[in-house]
């Protein structure tokens, strides 16, 4: 089974990140393939800003403005083959 874990916590030593590590090790020990994406390692900004919405005013509202929504990124393509998204 392919499992994709998305983590979004700014502190690398957080409880959330320790859960990601534990889950990754547990799934891998069971023979599953696991991919982890840490949004903060990719300079993720959890706040929506006016500069992000200006481009959407002339196109379909659901059009993503950052790489996380694009279906051609390696992580998005990997996620599309996953059995579980955590």
The per-residue pLDDT for range 27-60, each reduced to its tens digit, is 999 999 999 999 988 888 778 777 766 665 655 5
For residue 69, what are the CA distances in angstroms to 8, 28, 84? 15, 27, 18
More confident residue, 71 or 5: 5
The per-residue pLDDT for range 11-22, each reduced to its tens digit, is 889 999 999 999
DSSP H or E stretch at residue 33 = strand 33-38
More confident residue, 45 or 74: 45
62-70: list long-range contacts, CB under 8 Å, 24+ apart.
Answer: 67/42, 68/39, 68/44
Cα–Cα distance for residue pair 24/7, rounded to 1 Å: 12
More confident residue, 43 or 74: 43
pLDDT at 65 over 50: no
């Amino acid at each position: 089974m392919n499992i994709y874990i998305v983590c979004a916590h700014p502190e690398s030593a957080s409880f959330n990140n320790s859960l990601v590590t534990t889950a990754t090790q547990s799934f891998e020990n069971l023979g599953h393939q696991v991919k982890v994406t840490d949004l903060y390692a990719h300079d993720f900004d959890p706040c929506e800003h006016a500069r992000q919405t200006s481009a959407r005013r002339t196109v379909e509202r659901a059009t993503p403005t950052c790489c996380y929504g694009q279906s051609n990124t390696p992580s998005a393509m990997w996620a599309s083959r996953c059995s579980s998204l955590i």
